[in-house]
Amino acid sequence: MKYEILKKQFGYDTFRPGQEEIIDAIMQGRDTIAIMPTGAGKSICYQIPALMLEGITLVISPLISLMKDQVRSLNQNGIRAAYLNSTLTPGQYRKALMLAAQGEYRIIYVAPERLESESFLRFVQQARIAMVAVDEAHCVSQWGQNFRPSYLKIREFMQKYSGQWRFCAFTATATKQVEEDMIGLLGMRSPYIVKTGYDRKNLFFSVEYPANSFLRLLELVRQRSGQSGIIYCIRRKDVEELCEKLCAAGIRATRYHAGLSDEERNANQEDFIFDRCPVMVATNAFGMGIDKPDVRYVIHYSMPSSLENYYQEAGRAGRDGQSAECILFYKAADERVLQFLLENQDFGDIGETQRKERIAKDWRRLEAMKGYALTQACLRHTILTYFGEDSPEQCGACSNCMHEYELIEISESVHTILGAIKSVRQKFGATIVLSLLKGSRSARIGQYGLDQSAFYGSLSGLTMRQLQDILRFMIQDGLVETTADTYLVLRITPKGSRFFAHPSSLTMRQYKKGKEPDAQDDEVFEQLRAVRLRLSRKYRVPP
């Protein structure tokens, strides 16, 4: 029967990886958790059982926009579905409940807050409920992104009816902590867990270090003219500026962020979905639940704050399975913006220790993101390793795999860097330590008297980028670690101490000469910036 439904109601010939296994587990009555990447096809894993079971399936979903779209497309497929959330007027809400009680719908989407509403609970007691499916189930965990307190009510709600209803949960977030929370906090009984691979073979990954981001973006967009693409920025004002500049350059672009009115957001979203505007410039507010299958490229104009976010956003490309590109721009300046946002997050009413813990966690996420942006290893392998999945060391389809490398001996430089970290008594972070070794004239070096150090300028023959690469290698190799106290500090590990005492050969892969992407020379830029600041103060004009 499931094959028939797949074909007749949804028009697909075969299941994708994981789907059939999930459907079978649900039908056998097991509590089921499905962890699948964005775009893998989670929805039909509960929609097909919903059509096979007698009674109503409740789908708990955090996103109102998602509910509307899901219901609309189910209705288009001839499946009776509805949603209950705060956008309905009291009249519409009563009517929907009444129709639901008469058995009018097979699938009803509800916001988690409904579980506390009297009228909804009365309805549930009378209706014939077959199954509860929790979408975006990671929202129950405080460790993941998008924590939603009302998800914590699901457990109690299910316990009242334990044993009677089928229970399944879906997410794209695969960390161990979130997985444990989903089982515990949702109160699932020895659930059957299905995890499909995270690899999306049709996506091509690349990282660029453009000297002029806007010109490079324009070039990329023009080369892909007529194709749908999403451009992600961190801040709303970046979205507005960029969209305006693109439009001025003759690109049909539209914009999306949480600060726009509902009407504008909806209109812009439709313009994008219906190809009136092929280019969408947006913050990460855009995308959840938007099922546009033919997005051919996703460009991150700025780096997001974690690889979780990156992979989710980039994964909106190529949902139709056709090849698509995920391009990340790396600029050192974005790092400072992200660090600022990270330090100044509003966690609400939590204690100081907890606050520190959360910030330290976010720091580690950001570090991993940065690691991806700057690694010379295979990008796909880097992502999959982060999500705990085994994969070949080379994928052959990412910008790093397409480059040629040479092996360089870095033993001496590593020894010098370790010496410098020791000499500052492990009190400083990467920026200061590398500026010291580079012999930078920045104000902070002077302020700490580091220009008097024996290490001052001792690696000035290397570029800042090479120094960063070597330090990153040292971190990945476990010679040093970064610890988040109030700010990030470099610390030598026992392995690093052993190496320092008895250095041995160490080789690192490096782009072959002439192949290195033209990175901005941060060092020169910083010096120019300092000069500009001095001049602007002198002449009392903005920098």
Under the binding rule (CB under 6 A), the answer on residue 43 touching ligand ADP is yes
- Of 503, 505, 484, the C-alpha closest to 430 is 484
> What is the C-alpha separation between 468 and 417, in angstroms, rounded?
11
Among 182, 395, 410, 433, binds Zn ion (CB under 5 A): 395
Beta-bridged to residue 333, according to DSSP, are none
Under the binding rule (CB under 6 A), the answer on residue 304 touching ligand ADP is no
497 and 434 Cβ atoms separated by less than 8 Å: no
Q: Whose Cβ is closer to ligand ADP: residue 44's or residue 111's?
A: 44
Beta-bridged to residue 206, according to DSSP, are 327
> What is the C-alpha separation between 327 and 359, in angstroms, rounded?
27
Under the binding rule (CB under 6 A), the answer on residue 229 touching ligand ADP is no
Indicate which of Zn ion, ligand ADP, none lies near residue 380 (CB less than 5 to 8 Å, by partner kind): Zn ion
Among 5, 23, 25, 44, binds ligand ADP (CB under 6 A): 44
> What is the C-alpha separation between 431 and 489, in angstroms, rounded?
10
Q: Determine the size of the site formed for ligand ADP (CB under 6 A).
A: 15
Tokens (6 digits) for 425 = 């008594």
Terminal Cα distance for the chain, rounded: 69
Under the binding rule (CB under 6 A), the answer on residue 40 touching ligand ADP is yes
> What is the C-alpha separation between 133 and 137, in angstroms, rounded?
9
Under the binding rule (CB under 6 A), the answer on residue 38 touching ligand ADP is yes
- Of 9, 12, 30, 13, the C-alpha closest to 21 is 30
Under the binding rule (CB under 6 A), the answer on residue 15 touching ligand ADP is yes
Among 44, 53, 366, 378, binds Zn ion (CB under 5 A): 378
**Alpha carbon separation from 193 to 22, 117, 163, 190, 312 (Å, rounded):** 8, 31, 18, 9, 21
Under the binding rule (CB under 6 A), the answer on residue 12 touching ligand ADP is yes
Compute how many other C-beta atoms are within 10 angstroms of the C-beta atom of residue 184: 12
* 3-class secondary-structure state, position 488: strand
| Nearest approach, Cβ of residue 36 and ligand ADP (Å) | 5
Under the binding rule (CB under 5 A), the answer on residue 5 touching Zn ion is no
Q: Whose Cβ is closer to Zn ion: residue 395's or residue 410's?
A: 395
Under the binding rule (CB under 5 A), the answer on residue 207 touching Zn ion is no
Among 41, 49, 62, 229, binds ligand ADP (CB under 6 A): 41
Q: What angle do CA 222, 280, 61 make, to 5 degrees?
A: 150
Residue at token pair 């999930």? 22
Under the binding rule (CB under 6 A), the answer on residue 106 touching ligand ADP is no
Q: Whose Cβ is closer to Zn ion: residue 398's or residue 479's?
A: 398
- Of 185, 117, 175, the C-alpha closest to 151 is 185
- Of 74, 144, 71, the C-alpha closest to 109 is 71
Residue 16 DSSP symbol: P
Under the binding rule (CB under 6 A), the answer on residue 17 touching ligand ADP is no
Among 26, 34, 193, 401, binds Zn ion (CB under 5 A): 401
Q: Whose Cβ is closer to Zn ion: residue 515's or residue 529's?
A: 515
List helix spans (H) across 464-517. Answer: 464-476, 494-501
Indicate which of ligand ADP, Zn ion, none lies near residue 41 (CB less than 5 to 8 Å, by partner kind): ligand ADP
| Nearest approach, Cβ of residue 172 and ligand ADP (Å) | 7
- DSSP strands (E only) in 301-404: 324-329
Classify strands 507-511 and 405-409 as parallel, antiparallel or unpaired.
antiparallel
Window contacting Zn ion (CB under 5 A); options: 28-36, 353-361, 399-407, 480-488: 399-407
| Nearest approach, Cβ of residue 286 and ligand ADP (Å) | 15
Among 138, 255, 300, 319, binds ligand ADP (CB under 6 A): 319
> What is the C-alpha separation between 461 and 437, in angstroms, rounded?
10
Under the binding rule (CB under 5 A), the answer on residue 398 touching Zn ion is yes
Single-letter amino acid, residue 512: K
Under the binding rule (CB under 6 A), the answer on residue 2 touching ligand ADP is no
Cα radius of gyration rounded to whole Å, the chain: 26
Under the binding rule (CB under 5 A), the answer on residue 380 touching Zn ion is yes
Indicate which of Zn ion, ligand ADP, none lies near residue 25 (CB less than 5 to 8 Å, by partner kind): none
The residue of the chain with the least Cβ separation from ligand ADP equals 41
Under the binding rule (CB under 6 A), the answer on residue 42 touching ligand ADP is yes
Residue at token pair 């005492």? 501
| Nearest approach, Cβ of residue 113 and ligand ADP (Å) | 22
374 and 330 Cβ atoms separated by less than 8 Å: yes
Window contacting ligand ADP (CB under 6 A); options: 32-40, 214-222, 278-286, 425-433: 32-40
Q: Whose Cβ is closer to Zn ion: residue 310's or residue 455's?
A: 310
Under the binding rule (CB under 6 A), the answer on residue 79 touching ligand ADP is no
Which stretches of the chain bind ligand ADP, using CB under 6 A?
12, 15-16, 19, 36, 38-44, 291, 293, 319
* Contacts with Zn ion, residue ranges (CB under 5 A): 378, 380, 395, 398, 401
